[in-house]
Structure 1
């Protein structure tokens, strides 16, 4: 049931991401990853439920063992490369899966019209070399896993190392999740290889138990990437629900209701000490770079009650907490876009490193603060230079 629910969830999130109006290559690739994970998991479910004994499921064309690896790699590229776009030049990554899928589709089409199981087997094995091709597919998939894992991990690690130089002792969170995921995947892959592939080649054990473990891991990946996809979807849904009134729009876009739950102290109070501590926290400690920064966390950092900090921000800056923090983040993004040291980073990568935690909210807030979209602003900078 856990596997089935994971498959359903992954497919739902994949279709929602795929049909969103955003042209983000990252969203499209994440949608493709979720669909691939779901299809790979369905393969073992067909075997568990014994569906392969029915003619319509025999030789079902799902030869996608070499699809997930390039998709994950290209998704990593979309997070780490400047102005990444998925174009025709990148289609060669999918040549192996295309060839294997074409063979699988031909085999399925030819054998489907033959009702006799024995004749199906003869056609598939003696004329179309089905199992031989599947064996080649598994070998290609193994080398593909190793190569793309190395490329993805190296790109993620290099990206994190470049960013660590510019963060001035502030902890960066962008892509740490992906680095840890790749490390876990590499360890599991090594374990599965040693405990399954090698003994199977030597004819020592039946590796089906390890296959179950592998597909269980695919289910975990499906849940994980579904959560990532949901995080991308949610800001867009909130944006559509906004009302046109200026005051209410600002409140809803700030998403700061939880931070202002405590009573606000009277405006007449002297907040100079709190304001000084706030400015120091933002300008010296650069707390706005923390994606999970909240009013409570800020109050705890500077050592004042949450209600007083909220009131000080309202009285001293005329803004609520979230809008005030986002102002610092937008200013930092503008500074980095104008600096040559950050040319190797994508717009989304810079935004994440400046404290934004979703692409949709970054684009919305940047336009709200500057009157430009991030891409338009970057083009204006390039014209000036």
Structure 2
């Protein structure tokens, strides 16, 4: 035990191997978060990941101060309820990384209302009762906070897991993202499980010692491992990597996944005739097959050799030709059939038809009529 003197008081500082390991995790999380936050033109998911690291580093600082110098927390009570912030940050990170779906700023803040409410509640509790671990009111507040925090973690873990299940990796890069996301969810689940175990031990034996070990060391140890895992992700995952410049991602498509997506698109186009919707766009089709729009666009270019508009218009032209061959086709105008096929305007129809067949619609009708006469 280290003892430092201050004016009119003696401050006791204790340290052990566990806290030393914990301190290295704190330092790593803080430095990596600073590096990520300092990067220019960083993607949104890197921002959420950096904030997740920062929240854990601040929480670790509070834990170390609580163990090493409780007098500091007595003078400056800082709850730093990382449990309520980590869940939303994990969810927002998964949403951005897997689907690149930006969330409006005002909607983002809604996720952190519980953290702010419990922060205020905590400060009021300390101001009212004072910093005394033996105080039953403070202990009750701590216990209620831990239960609420675990519920928050479970809810956001479930939301993040649902996003992971909806994600369909096509490229090798996406498969790597899916693997890391699975590991991250597993690490978060184990950390939450450790918190649940701590609550159970608290209920069982009063929450202090169990087999000669402080019960809250269980959740602290899990948090330490979680922090080291997040640091490993920073080094290993190219989409977050902080020490090496990330090269432009070259997407190589895995055949089984491509076949699945192509089958879905084929069903939507041939059976559901999605192309007949004149308002169909890349985002709508991507939403139907639960694929990020950018990835769908890349797949169409690499696998079909055409962009989205050309891809959809090809189906519309084929549909127009099929309708033109029907017995009652003479009851409709060319423009009427084009609108029925999904074209929004006469100009776009004529351009697409000429590009696909090499003829204007009128020329094609004449050729078709000559063939029928023969």
Compute the TM-score of the two structures, normalised by the length of structure 2: 0.54
User: In the alignment, which residue of structure 2 is the partner of 1:228?
Assistant: 233
* CA 1:138–1:236: 2 relative to 1, 3 Å: closer
Kindly indicate whether the alpha-carbon contact (under 8 Å) linking 1:61 and 1:104 is maintained by their aligned counterparts in 2: yes
Q: Offset of 1:40 from its aligned partner?
A: 2.0
Cα gap change, 1:24 to 1:72, in 2 (>3 Å): same
With over 3 angstroms needed to count, the CA separation of the structure-2 counterparts of 1:184 and 1:104, relative to structure 1, is closer
Q: Which residue of 2 aligns with 1:326?
A: none
Return the offset for 1:85.
3.3
> How many pairs align?
261
Q: Once the 2 structures are TM-superposed, how far is the Cα of residue 225 of structure 1 from its aligned partner?
A: 1.9
1:141 to partner: Cα distance: 0.5
Distance 1:341 1:216, change over 3 A: same
Please give the secondary structure, in 1, of the residue aligned with 2:155: helix
What is the rounded CA distance, in whole Å, between the counterparts of 1:74 and 1:36 in structure 2? 14
Whether the 8 Å contact between 2:83 and 2:153 is mirrored in structure 1 is no
Give the CA deviation at 1:4.
Answer: 1.2
Tell me which of 221, 224, 231 is aligned to 1:219: 224
C-alpha displacement at 1:93, in angstroms? 1.0
For residue 8 of structure 1, what is the aligned residue in structure 2? 27
- Mapping of residues 85-100 of structure 1, within 5 Å: 85-100=103-118
Cα 1:144–1:27 shift into 2, 3 Å: same
Matched, 1:200 2:209: no
Aligned twin of 2:279: none
Distance 1:91 1:19, change over 3 A: same
Aligned equivalents of 1:283 and 1:187: distance in 2?
Answer: 33
Quote the residue 2:80 is aligned against: 62
User: In structure 2, what is the Cα distance between the partners aligned to 1:283 and 1:97?
Assistant: 41
Higher-RCO chain (CA-CA 8 Å, sequence separation at least 6): 1
1:286-341 per-residue CA deviation (whole Å, 9 max, x = no partner) reads 9xxxxxxxxxxxxxxxxxxxxxxxxxxxxxxxxxxxxxxxxxxxxxxxxxx79935
TM-score, structure 1 as length reference: 0.53
C-alpha spacing 1:216/1:338, structure 2 compared with 1 (3 Å): same
Cα 1:158–1:98, aligned 2, differ >3 Å: closer, same or farther? same
SS at match of 1:59: coil
The residue aligned with 1:20 is 39
Q: Which runs of 5+ in 2 are unaligned?
A: 1-19, 257-281, 300-306, 313-343, 353-374
Q: Please name the residue that 2:60 is paired with.
A: 41
CA RMSD for the aligned pairs? 4.8
Quick one: structure 1 residues 9 and 156, their matched pair in 2 at CA, closer, same or farther if it must change by over 3 Å? same
Structure number with larger C-alpha Rg: 2
Q: Which secondary structure state, in structure 1, belongs to the residue aligned with residue 175 of structure 2? A: coil
* Aligned match of 2:184: 181
Spell out, residue by residue over 1:123-165, the C-alpha distance to the aligned partner (whole angstroms, 9 max, x if none). x979xx6544433322210211221111111221221xx34xx
| Offset at residue 211 of structure 1 (A) | 2.2
Unaligned segments of structure 1, at least 5 residues? 112-118, 240-252, 256-281, 287-336, 355-376
Q: Secondary structure at the match of 2:109?
A: helix
Asked whether the 8 Å contact 2:36–2:46 carries over to 1, the reply is yes
- Distance (Å, rounded) in 1 between the aligned partners of 2:86 and 2:31: 18
Check 1:89–1:341 CA distance in 2 against 1; reply closer, same or farther (3 A cut): closer
Structure 1 Cα separation of the partners of residues 120 and 50 of structure 2: 22
Q: How much has 1:171 moved relative to structure 2?
A: 9.7
CA gap of 1:348–1:180, structure 2 versus 1, over 3 A, is farther
